[in-house]
């Protein structure tokens, strides 16, 4: 890949940089309503949904244009968009599998953060085996669906207006074949969101309960029983958005380097030498993760779909982010324990990124089986109806 901007890309970068520098104060406020307004400002300026089709509310631009926006926002240490899950995961799923009516009603509002979205996949009893989920949707006499179950680790569910919800609609077939995806109104009767407090003090993760929630059949995404194929669209988009754009998952390596340099003189000479070594290793690993993302970006730029290789970007990106954050906290010494602060909160929050988008163990399996061609792990429930599977028999 040629890392130099073309003339067109350089002009686009200059346009993006000028706008962000002029409006950067608007993007610094993390109040929810201010964050919604900031995303709307970026959308109106043409900087959100850049690669989406024009008829879907996007700009019909190239992945490189989007990458340049991401790079310039990172350069100014601007936070990510409040509706990043909607843009990176839910929106592509609606584009790929939604009806014309769903696309018309949801996509433009999603891009402007008029509506915030969440992804309702993980469940307490399923662990890392998404296809073992137990949240059930049963068809009612009038053709709608009645949903009961629980989801967990749902990022920003407490802020979300809508979510994409994966359910089990047929327990009499093998687990991957009996799933169906829906759009769910998070304000619907029977939906309860409870925050999960993290060690950072924040509560971006939530558990969500569904008690006799009615979902109209018009909110189904894809065919009945085809939910696994729909979910794969979400998962591949998720891993690309987390580890495939050439920007870091956590702190930028350059930001950590400046932070370390500002505190280096306060350390003893022997600790300075150790910090330099650790920074060098972490910096190189961060660049490796960044360039892994560029490889995926190159693939998408050629019109190819994101594949299992995106798992490598997410895997290396989360490890690099944790190493950089740990180093940034260590150089603070005793100050790291006083009053929390940005680096302390970042370090405490990053372990969650090793779960989001697939645990490290799941990603290694994907890389081993689908990239390296290693034998798949034995599956005792392969071809077995879900209700007769080993997982189902262990239910209390």
Residues known to be catalytic: 238
**Which of 2, 85, 73, 89 lies closest to 38, judged by CA?**
73
Contact by Cβ (8 Å): 56, 103: yes
- Supply φ then ψ for residue 312, to 5 degrees: -65, -40
What are the φ/ψ torsions at residue 28 (nearest 5 degrees)?
-85, -15
List the end-to-end C-alpha distance of the chain, in Å, as a whole number: 53
* Cβ–Cβ < 8 Å for 151, 122: yes
Please name the residue that has the structure tokens 């073309």.
6
Distances (CA, A) of 345 to 19, 92, 203, 349: 29, 31, 12, 6
| Residue 331 burial (C-beta neighbours within 10 Å; 0-12, 13-18, 19+) | buried
Closest CA to 180 of 119, 212, 136: 136
What is the token pair recorded at 255?
């930001």
Token representation of residue 245: 């754009």
- The rounded distance, in Å, linking the Cα atoms of 345 and 89 is 25
CB atoms within 10 A of CB 28: 12
The DSSP annotation for 113-134 comes to: TSS-EEEE---TTTTT-GGG--
Torsion of CA 212, 218, 222, 228, to 10 degrees: -10
**Contact partners, residue 274, CB within 8 Å, separation at least 6:** none
Which residues face 182 on adjacent strands? 165, 220
The answer to whether residues 318 and 249 touch, using CB atoms and an 8 Å cutoff, is yes
């Amino acid at each position: 890949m040629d890392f130099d901007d073309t003339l067109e890309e350089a002009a686009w970068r200059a346009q993006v940089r000028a706008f962000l520098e002029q409006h950067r104060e608007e993007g610094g406020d993390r109040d929810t309503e201010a964050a919604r307004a900031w995303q709307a400002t970026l959308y109106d300026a043409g900087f959100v949904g850049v690669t989406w089709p024009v008829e879907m509310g996007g700009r019909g631009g190239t992945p490189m244009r989007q990458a340049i926006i991401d790079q310039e926002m990172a350069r100014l240490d601007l936070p990510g968009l409040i509706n990043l899950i909607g843009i990176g995961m839910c929106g592509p799923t609606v584009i790929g599998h939604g009806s014309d009516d769903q696309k018309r009603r949801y996509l433009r509002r999603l891009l402007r953060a008029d509506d915030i979205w969440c992804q309702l996949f993980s469940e307490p009893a399923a662990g890392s085996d998404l296809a073992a989920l137990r949240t059930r949707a049963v068809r009612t006499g009038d053709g709608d669906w009645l949903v009961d179950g629980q989801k967990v680790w749902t990022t920003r569910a407490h802020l979300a207006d809508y979510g994409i919800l994966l359910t089990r609609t047929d327990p009499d077939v093998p687990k991957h074949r009996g799933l169906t995806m829906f759009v769910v109104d998070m304000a619907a009767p029977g939906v309860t969101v409870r925050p999960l407090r993290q060690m950072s003090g924040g509560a971006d993760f939530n558990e969500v309960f569904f008690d006799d929630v009615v979902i109209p059949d018009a909110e189904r995404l894809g065919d009945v029983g085809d939910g696994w194929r729909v979910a794969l669209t979400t998962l591949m988009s998720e891993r690309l958005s987390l580890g495939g754009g050439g920007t870091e998952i956590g702190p930028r390596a350059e930001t950590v380097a400046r932070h370390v340099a500002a505190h280096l003189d306060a350390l003893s000479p022997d600790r300075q030498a150790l910090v330099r070594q650790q920074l060098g290793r972490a910096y190189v690993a961060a660049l490796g993760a960044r360039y892994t993302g560029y490889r995926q970006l190159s693939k998408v730029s050629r019109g190819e779909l994101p594949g299992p290789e995106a798992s490598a970007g997410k895997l290396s990106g989360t490890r690099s982010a944790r190493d950089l954050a740990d180093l940034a906290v260590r150089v603070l010494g005793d100050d790291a324990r006083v009053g929390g602060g940005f680096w302390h909160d970042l370090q405490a929050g990053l372990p969650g990124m090793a779960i989001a988008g697939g645990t490290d163990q799941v990603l290694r399996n994907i890389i081993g089986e689908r990239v390296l061609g290693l034998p798949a792990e034995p599956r005792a429930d392969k071809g077995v109806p879900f209700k007769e599977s080993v997982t189902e028999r262990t239910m209390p």
